[in-house]
Structure 1
Amino acid sequence: MTKKVLLYLRNSADTLRTACADSQRHFAEIFMRKNGWKLELICRDEDIGEVVFTAQPGVHKLLNEIEFGSSDIVLCHTLDRLCSRLPDAARLLHDLTVNGMELWAADPGIRIQTKDLIGYYCNDPGKPLAGFQYFEEMPDGLYDVNDLVPLPYGYRYTGAYDSNGTYVFGFKAGDKECAKVVRRIFRMYADGMSPAKIAEALNAEGIPGPRGGKWRDTTIRGDRNRRTGILNNEIYIGRSWVPGRNYDSAYATRIVSDELWRRVKLRQGLAARGPVGTP
């Protein structure tokens, strides 16, 4: 019996590193012909930024088809073109399995299974998830509009229109006032002030920290190797890790200049060798 395919396409804003929707369809059709499958339906979204998973028109259509349609396979070009986050992929794969459907990626031409997700999304071998096949119960991130993943300090959720004129909520944008605080933190550190002194100064001025709490030196300092903390989060220079593509650029969300970022990295490197700047 010929298997019916639902093809999901996400157009790319960066066609130098990621295939555009037309290219994705071209390679998917070659893959389907090779396997003797039949294209039943196409669901497509525009790459307008970090968006609530189910709010995207193409994904919304896909989820309806999973529940009520007759397709046997959901096919995407690469898994990150469909789901950029582990919780989204895990829940989607669960829903597909419950409905007797399979998830395939045309590149590299494999069926995606639950045991594959951890290795695909978790690039930090120190995380507990890396050694197990079970997912800790947690919020669904961008899977549910009502359960939004917290954004890094300096950003907020807003809406954007896709190419079809559909308003999609969940687009990540800079928060003007908090962005000023982020730049100030970077400048203060680059000029020699310690994270503890920076936190003390911000609290003295009554500036709310992330989630509305008090500023702590650890919130600012973080861990350079693990890319945590205000001073190490590359989202501030418009970079974020995307599975399968290493780093993705979203310069519209940039808050800190490359020059200021380099100054901070230089001081961190010097600080790692011994006491530097304000104690």
Structure 2
Amino acid sequence: MNKLKVAIYCRLSEEDRNKESEDDDSNSIQNQKSMLNKYALEQGWEIFKVYSDDDYTGSDRRRPEFNNLLRDAKAQKFNIILCKTQSRFTRELELVEKYIHGLFPIWGIRFVSVVDNADTANKGNKKSRQINGLVNEWYLEDMSENIKSVLIDRRKNGFHIGAFALYGYKKDPDMKGHLIIDEEAAKVVREVFTLFSNGYGKTAIARILNERGIPNPTEYKRLHGLRFKAPKTRNSTLWSYYAIADMLINEIYIGNMVQGKYGSVSYKTKQNKPRPKSQWYIVEGTHEAIIDRELWDRVQLLIVQKAKPFTIGQIGLFARKTRCMYCGY
């Protein structure tokens, strides 16, 4: 008789992050693999493959090994999926119903989790699996709300909470949430504001910086080890009209912390949407300014003036809302 083939799935929990290096599996992952390998052997199952996602939450549907597991399950490459707990597979009740109670039985896949005794071969514990899914869903929602409240409080108090500092600044190693000037990039910021105040257009400024080989903010971060993904397009290292335009109206350059421009749609998705300015978190004087107030005010006045009124004294309907697809003006 052929042995049943089992796919082992492991995922790092948020609670235990104790890796020695970026490339090592965490102790949590190693422990899961050891436990599940032993359990599978005790049951007499043949281990088909170990799927392991490290540094991913249970609500992240983009987990690479999770999706590889689902593809192989659909192809019926194994008979059983084995996890430490049901929450390692997913914390979403929707996915519990879709896969564990829906598609897996259709594909002939048995789901087993060791610690919480979930086993689709046991019809009597379906309700407990659903309760586990509901509890895990509540956990996600509560954790999201707790994190959100902490972040809102820090924003209101002027602490920087982003993954990266704005171009021209860097994170203060001695004070969490505080920005200090990165003089190398700040020189470029000052030059951009000065050029614009002297009558240069945004496209012209971008061209000047590109001709001198000055990397744009994204490339600058990557070159300084802050981003590890290579640029995806040929021009992704170049300055653009939009990069200059965004820089010229960013109050962070005058020492004000501006955050909350975007907000998440739901705790279940990574998608963000723009928030109205009335809902932004703006705290004045949180860090040293790169641009002095006189230059800032002069630039803001020029930006307003460039939204040119018609001869009848009214601003055009599309002023500052549309741009030429070829030159960006």
Per the TM superposition, whether the score is higher than 0.5 is: no
Structure number with larger C-alpha Rg: 2
Report the structure, 1 or 2, having the larger strand content: 1
TM-score for both structures, normalised by structure 2: 0.37
Q: Which has the higher contact order (CA 8 A, sep 6+)?
A: 1
